[in-house]
Amino acid sequence: MQHAEIELKFRVGDVREFHTRALHAGFQIHTERTLERNTLFDTPERRLLSERQILRLREYNGRNLLTHKKPPADNDDTSFYKKRVETETDVADPDALATVFVELGYGPVFRYEKFRTEFHDGQGELLLDETPIGIFAELEGTPDWIDQALERLNISRELCFTDSYGRMFLDWKQRSASLAENMTFEEIESSRALV
């Protein structure tokens, strides 16, 4: 299934406080806190990255999903929101698909994990992500809905950003001088033990 994805992220200080704030703002829990594992694939030259595309296999909530994202044809880099064209489908055998990717020249280049809690209000999604490098929330919906959700959650627009988890990891890695190559709980913890 293909659809337009419009999103915005912001940092969260306290999981419990934010959870309560989301419920008071009219959101309902759609999926309880669940571990999510992601693997990004690309060519050795990082062709997809240079074209601002991603090819991802995700394991989450008993499902395996294949996702491709790319900028829309009418992409506006000055937009306050991150806008992508997303095509996603369930996959029965992710290991077999990963093998096909490798045969076609796309190898695994980055893995990342997070514990995700999904909230809905009937119009859009609020995603609470507990990652190895911090806690973040993501709003997905129309620009008007995102603005209204920020107001309901009492989040200033100045605190919002559109970086991917890959970009956030690279920034964190530079700041922390970590040797980790992937944003997984085990690898981040191991790299901290070495410092």
Residue 46's domain spans which residues? 2-194
Share of the chain above pLDDT 70, in %: 96
Q: Which residues fall within 8 angstroms of residue 136, CB to CB, at 6 or more apart?
A: 9, 10, 11, 12, 128, 129, 168
- Chain mean pLDDT for the chain: 94
User: Does the pLDDT at position 195 exceed 60?
Assistant: no
* 3-state SS, residue 140: strand
What is the domain count for the chain?
1
| Mean pLDDT in residue range 165-180 | 94
> What is residue 4's predicted lDDT score, i.e. its pLDDT?
86
Whole-structure pTM value: 0.92
Domain containing 56 — which CATH number?
2.40.320.10
> What is residue 118's predicted lDDT score, i.e. its pLDDT?
98
User: Among all chains, which residue has been given the structure tokens 């309880």?
Assistant: 32
